[in-house]
Amino acid sequence: MKQALVTALLVLMSLAVTRTASAKDGATMRVGSKRFVESYILAEMVAQLAREGGASVEHDQGLGGTAVVFRAIEDGSIDVYPEYTGTLAAATVKTGASDLAALRAALAPRGLAISDPLGFENTYALAVSRSVATKLGLTKVSDLVGHPDLRVAMSHEFLGRRDGWPGLAERYGLAFAAPPKAIDHALAYEAISRGESDVIDVYTTDAKIGRFDLVVLADDRRFFPPYDAVLVYRADLPARVPAFAKVLERLRGAIDATSMQKMNARAELDGVPFARVAADFLAKRAGSAGDRVGLLAGTLDVVKRHGPRHLMLVAVSLAMSIAVGVPLGILAYARRRVGAAVLGLAGVVQTIPSLALFCFFIPLFGIGPVPALAALFVYGLLPIVRNTHAGLVSIPADLRDSAIAIGLSPSERLRHVELPLASRTILAGIKTSAVVAVGSATIAAFIGAGGFGEPISTGLSLNDVTMIMEGAIPAAAMALLVEGAFVVIERAVVPRGLRESREV
Partner 1 sequence: MAALALERVTKAFGTRAVIRETSLELAAGEKLALIGPSGCGKSTLLRMILGLVVPDSGTVRVGDVVVSASSARAVRRRVGYVIQDGGLFPHLTAEENVTLVSRLNGRDGAALRARVSELAELAGLPEALLSRFPHALSGGERQRVGLMRALMLDPDVLLLDEPLGALDPIVRARLQEDLRDAFRKLEKSVLLVTHDMAEAAYLADSIAVMRDGAIVQRGTMKDLVDAPAHPFVAEFVGAQRTLTEALR
Residues that bind partner 1 (CB under 8 A): 398-399, 401-409, 412, 416-417, 420-421, 423, 495-498, 500-501, 503-504
> How near is the Cβ of 483 to partner 1 at its closest, in Å?
24
Q: How far apart are the first and last CA of the chain?
A: 41
CA 80/CA 416 separation, integer angstroms: 56
The DSSP H or E segment spanning 217 is: strand 214-217
18 or 409, CB closer to partner 1? 409
> How near is the Cβ of 428 to partner 1 at its closest, in Å?
16
CA 183/CA 187 separation, integer angstroms: 7
293 or 419, CB closer to partner 1? 419
> How near is the Cβ of 370 to partner 1 at its closest, in Å?
39
Q: Specify the amino acid at residue 382.
A: L
240 or 424, CB closer to partner 1? 424
Q: Any alpha helices (H) in 127-273, and if so which ranges?
A: 130-136, 156-160, 165-172, 185-193, 208-211, 237-240, 242-251, 257-268
CA 217/CA 152 separation, integer angstroms: 14
194 or 502, CB closer to partner 1? 502
> How near is the Cβ of 63 to partner 1 at its closest, in Å?
50
3-state secondary structure at position 60: strand
CA 42 to each of CA 211, 239, 288: distance values in angstroms, whole numbers, following the listed order: 22, 21, 19
> How near is the Cβ of 486 to partner 1 at its closest, in Å?
19
67 or 422, CB closer to partner 1? 422
Select from 124, 290, 255 the least CA-distant residue to 202: 124
CA 396/CA 390 separation, integer angstroms: 12
Select from 88, 391, 29 the least CA-distant residue to 226: 88
CA 468/CA 341 separation, integer angstroms: 40
170 or 401, CB closer to partner 1? 401
Select from 114, 147, 32, 9 the least CA-distant residue to 78: 32
137 or 407, CB closer to partner 1? 407
213 or 401, CB closer to partner 1? 401
> How near is the Cβ of 504 to partner 1 at its closest, in Å?
6
Let me know: does 113 contact 103? Beta carbons within 8 Å.
Answer: no
> How near is the Cβ of 336 to partner 1 at its closest, in Å?
17
CA 77/CA 250 separation, integer angstroms: 24
Listing DSSP states for 433-494 in one string gives: HHHHHHHHTTGGGGGT--STHHHHHHHHHHT-HHHHHHHHHHHHHHHHHHHHHHHHHHHHHS
> How near is the Cβ of 429 to partner 1 at its closest, in Å?
18
> How near is the Cβ of 353 to partner 1 at its closest, in Å?
39
> How near is the Cβ of 406 to partner 1 at its closest, in Å?
5
249 or 401, CB closer to partner 1? 401
CA 226/CA 302 separation, integer angstroms: 37
> How near is the Cβ of 416 to partner 1 at its closest, in Å?
6
Could you give phi then psi for residue 495, rounded to 5 degrees?
Answer: -55, 145
3-state secondary structure at position 215: strand
> How near is the Cβ of 412 to partner 1 at its closest, in Å?
6
18 or 411, CB closer to partner 1? 411
149 or 500, CB closer to partner 1? 500
| Pair type for strands 181-182 and 112-114 | unpaired
304 or 416, CB closer to partner 1? 416
The DSSP H or E segment spanning 364 is: helix 362-365
Phi-psi region of 343 (alpha: psi -120 to 50; beta: other; left: phi over 0): alpha
Q: Using the 8-state DSSP alphabet, how is residue 291 labeled?
A: -
